[in-house]
Amino acid sequence: MKNNIKTRFSSAFEEDVFTGLTSNPRYLLSKYIYDKKGDKLFQDIMDLPEYYLTNCEFDILRNHTAEIVEKFTGHEGFDLIELGAGDGKKTKLLLKYLVDQNLDFNYLPVDISQNALEELEKSLKNEIPEVPIKIQQGTYFETLEKLSTFNTRKKVILVLGSNIGNLLHENAIDFLKHIQEVMSMEDMLFIGFDQKKHPQKILDAYNDASGVTEAFNKNLLVRINSELGGNFNPDQFLHWETYNPETGTAKSFLVSKIDQDINIESLDLKIHFDPWQTIHTEISQKYDDAVVKWLAEKAGLTVADCFMDENNYYKNYIFTK
Ligand code: AVI
């Protein structure tokens, strides 16, 4: 039986879509939002007035550059390893300062996409050509392991953008544990956590007036249509955001507006939606100091420092071993 199921799928995407859409309640994994179109929509989200996270983190890095960099520097220089660098807009602030101060460092952005890394390298060569960049194509943990085997220099690992918020606590602890395992006593993790705040502010950030986040969420359906032969009509689904101020969890859903049948050819799957039946698509967790401390300690790490924006909307923490 298990083997039969295995041979049905030719990719993890197929298998995960099948599992999610045949579960009760239905779900799709948010990591699949990010194809070329999803990456572009996320870039657009980061420019939205409602999406405060980017500006807050930018302000923290701009207003505390010297204090932050002071913590980074080691006896023999350091390697700045960024997990999920994106377009590097915020990191460039730090890089510019490091170059201006003539500090001994290498910048090692890690990404699964060679293309994204080459774009980043190209833009850095134009904007701050003095940055010693060594792009690292691969998965986060394989690359971190490789880097710690060959290198004994201090590692400063950057995880910006509250990316950890897309993980359930259990998975966030695993993620931090993996990082902890490759850290030496001198190394540090500099990581962003979006904070609990007025619930309306959070709801607005994930349900913007111009509909970019709606398109981002619905890109899951668009992708299933184009890659797996699905016949979803995204207009027949509502983008719906909830925020639970007690747990700090923002959740995105797609809600069927009508009674409808969906066919996904390459999965040989037909599913029916009753009106208002849901697909859960993403969590964006919000934190407070106590929860961040708990996560760090569960992963064998200590909170060594913390920097925040003037509204306390967002915080970057330094974790050490
Ligand atoms: C990438 N991640 C941290 C974003 C977030 O805030 O959860 C993804 C996102 N989803 C909707 N808007 C932005």
Among 79-93, 158-172, 185-199, 225-239, the minimum mean pLDDT is found in 79-93
Q: Which of these, 217, 148, 219, 156, lies nearest to 182 by C-alpha position?
A: 148
User: pLDDT band for position 2 (50/70/90)?
Assistant: very low
Tell me how far apart the alpha carbons of residues 230 and 233 are, in angstroms, rounded to a whole number. 9
First to last CA, the chain: 45
pLDDT at 114 (0 to 100): 86
Tell me: pLDDT of 33 over 50: yes
Show the CA angle centred on residue 158, arms to residues 57 and 34, nearest 5°: 80
Please work out whether the CB of residue 248 comes within 6 Å of at least one atom of ligand 1.
no
pLDDT at 7 (0 to 100): 64
Average pLDDT over residues 48-70: 97
Contact 282, 45 (CB under 8 A): no
284 Cα to the center of ligand 1, angstroms = 6
Tell me how far apart the alpha carbons of residues 81 and 75 are, in angstroms, rounded to a whole number. 17
Tell me: pLDDT of 265 over 50: yes
pLDDT at 3 (0 to 100): 47
Among 98-112, 137-151, 198-212, the minimum mean pLDDT is found in 137-151
Average pLDDT over residues 131-157: 90
pLDDT at 149 (0 to 100): 84
Tell me how far apart the alpha carbons of residues 316 and 189 are, in angstroms, rounded to a whole number. 10
pLDDT cut 90: percent of the chain above it: 88
253 Cα to the center of ligand 1, angstroms = 13
**Arithmetic mean of pLDDT over the chain:** 95
Tell me how far apart the alpha carbons of residues 317 and 303 are, in angstroms, rounded to a whole number. 7
| Helix/strand number for the chain, H first, E second | 12, 13
pTM of the prediction? 0.94
Please work out whether the CB of residue 242 comes within 6 Å of at least one atom of ligand 1.
no
CA dihedral 276, 233, 26, 9 (to 10 degrees): 160
133 Cα to the center of ligand 1, angstroms = 27
Tell me: pLDDT of 238 over 60: yes
Please work out whether the CB of residue 213 comes within 6 Å of at least one atom of ligand 1.
yes
Count the helix, strand and coil residues of the chain and give each as a percent rounded to the nearest 5.
45, 25, 30
